[in-house]
A and B are shown apart, each in its own frame.
Chain A
Amino acid sequence: MLIFIGLLFVVALMMMTFYNKLRTLQVHIKASIQEIGNQLKRQADLIPNLVDSVKGYMKHEKGIFEDLTAARKTIETAAASNNPKLLDESQKSVNKVLSSLKVIVESNPELQTSGLVNNLMDELRDTADKLMYSRRTLIDLSADYNSNIVTIPGVWIANLFGFKEEKGLSIPQDASVTQVTSDNLKNPKVQL
């Protein structure tokens, strides 16, 4: 009789442990999505500084200011929504601004020797790194959670309490990402 109660106790303890583990992972996954939004905001806040530093050379590039305002708005809404897909798409609006800036810096050699621009370019590289690392955190946490709900004994707890798979970072599932095209296999040509 005592052995039976002891066994029951152990099973209950295990269930509790696994339930708590799954719940904690869910919370951490939500936090990591917020972190991505956090890093995007940081990047968006940094770009006006870069725009300022090249203002004198941008007599013809009026469009960049509108692009910048639009990008910052997109990021604000994406960060507030905590939706990884929206966050990924808002990145596209930032990339648009960054590529316009890149064109300005490349077509103005005096800018490249300016310490301020180099410093801000370094900072932008760092923001891209931070975004990559926050995304990787989301990937790792989702992988951890998803593997826990399909392996024994987590799978029993998951079915009992209705834990669903977490999507993690959504990469577009069209053919281009997971396939190597014949173009990729050709040697790159360098034109100097």
Chain B
Amino acid sequence: MVNIYEQIKNNKIRSTFIISLFSIFIILVAYFITQSYNLDGTFLIFAFFISIISSLGSYFYGDKMVLALNQAQLANKNNYPLLYQVVENISIVNQTPMPKIYFIDTYAPNAFATGRDPKHAVICVTSGLLSKLNRSELEAVIAHELSHIKNYDIRLMTIVSILIGSLSILINMAYRSSFFRKSNNREDNQANTIITIIGFIMIIFAPIIAQLIQLAISRRREYFADASAVKLTRQPQALIDALTKISQDDSVFETASTATASLYITNPFKGNKIASLFSTHPPIEDRIKALQQML
């Protein structure tokens, strides 16, 4: 038995740990690459800058892009009164402003949240979700999504992907610059060979390792959002039931895209038996087990 405050503290500690791991990893790799390829600091700044610019669009307009991609329509108090009431109530206890509410017309039950901070938040549910869940289960799902917004998970994942992008650009630049390297002193040749080999290994593996850590961060934030949702509603069983219903449903989410897969409540690409290390969401059984500890 773990009480809700303990659960949230656990999640915060593990989340901090894995984000620190990621930051240290990125810094070490960037340092090593600049050192071993004799690039100076300006390459680092350049790579970072390019990555930021390419992410600016998704940071400020990501919500609009995702909604347009999924042909989402605005939901208001009159045509979706139950949904509106539920979002309103959870916003009160979440202490965040009321987000914009959208719905997607598909049988697959799912929901996602987007938006860089609580003031610019958008929440979207599918019509399949509304028809299959009862009020308590809907509250649990909305609480999970609004917790993502309150915990700034969208902003966190954006920053993480900017850093990974910078790393990829830096590695790319280092690889290209290695063709133009000046010849070294004979005495340093052996050390240089080792560094070159390690450099090659890093070029191949660093992006993959960074991706794996990014996915681990995403999974940890999902557990955190589950715990935060229970803190809001104090009804773990409702979230357990909702997750069970959603995972047992066979409908395919046609307009789901890989770019936004991490924002959904469960992985919309159900057909793929991806190894769990590469999944943005923890397995449903594990999430339910964590929730059952709070019953």
- A-side residues, CB < 8 A to B, are 28, 35, 126, 129-130, 133-134, 136-137, 140
Contact yes or no, B89 A130, CB < 8 A: yes
For B56, the chain A residues whose CB sits under 8 A away are: none
Q: Determine the distance from Cα of A129 to Cα of B93 in the docked complex, in whole angstroms.
A: 11
Q: Determine the distance from Cα of A143 to Cα of B95 in the docked complex, in whole angstroms.
A: 15
Q: Which of chain B's residues has its CB closest to A35's CB?
A: B92
Contact yes or no, B85 A133, CB < 8 A: no
Contact yes or no, B95 A133, CB < 8 A: no
- Least CB distance from A69 to B in Å reads 28
Contact yes or no, A137 B90, CB < 8 A: no
Q: Determine the distance from Cα of A133 to Cα of B95 in the docked complex, in whole angstroms.
A: 10
Chain B interface, >50% SS class: helix
Contact yes or no, A137 B92, CB < 8 A: yes
Q: Determine the distance from Cα of A41 to Cα of B95 in the docked complex, in whole angstroms.
A: 20
- Least CB distance from A191 to B in Å reads 27
- Least CB distance from B10 to A in Å reads 16
Name 23 A/B residue pairs within 8 A (Cβ), A-sorted: A28-B95, A35-B92, A126-B85, A126-B89, A129-B85, A129-B89, A130-B88, A130-B89, A130-B92, A133-B89, A133-B90, A133-B92, A133-B93, A134-B92, A134-B93, A136-B93, A136-B232, A136-B234, A137-B92, A137-B93, A137-B95, A140-B93, A140-B231
For A134, the chain B residues whose CB sits under 8 A away are: 92-93
B214-256: contact bitstring with A at CB < 8 Å (1 yes, 0 no)? Answer: 0000000000000000011010000000000000000000000
Q: Determine the distance from Cα of A185 to Cα of B123 in the docked complex, in whole angstroms.
A: 43
Which of B93, B231, B234 counts the most chain A CB atoms within 10 A? B93
Q: Which of chain B's residues has its CB closest to A133's CB?
A: B93
Q: Which of chain B's residues has its CB closest to A123's CB?
A: B85
For B92, the chain A residues whose CB sits under 8 A away are: 35, 130, 133-134, 137
For A28, the chain B residues whose CB sits under 8 A away are: 95
Q: Determine the distance from Cα of A137 to Cα of B96 in the docked complex, in whole angstroms.
A: 11
For B90, the chain A residues whose CB sits under 8 A away are: 133
B132-144: contact bitstring with A at CB < 8 Å (1 yes, 0 no)? Answer: 0000000000000
Q: Determine the distance from Cα of A137 to Cα of B232 in the docked complex, in whole angstroms.
A: 9
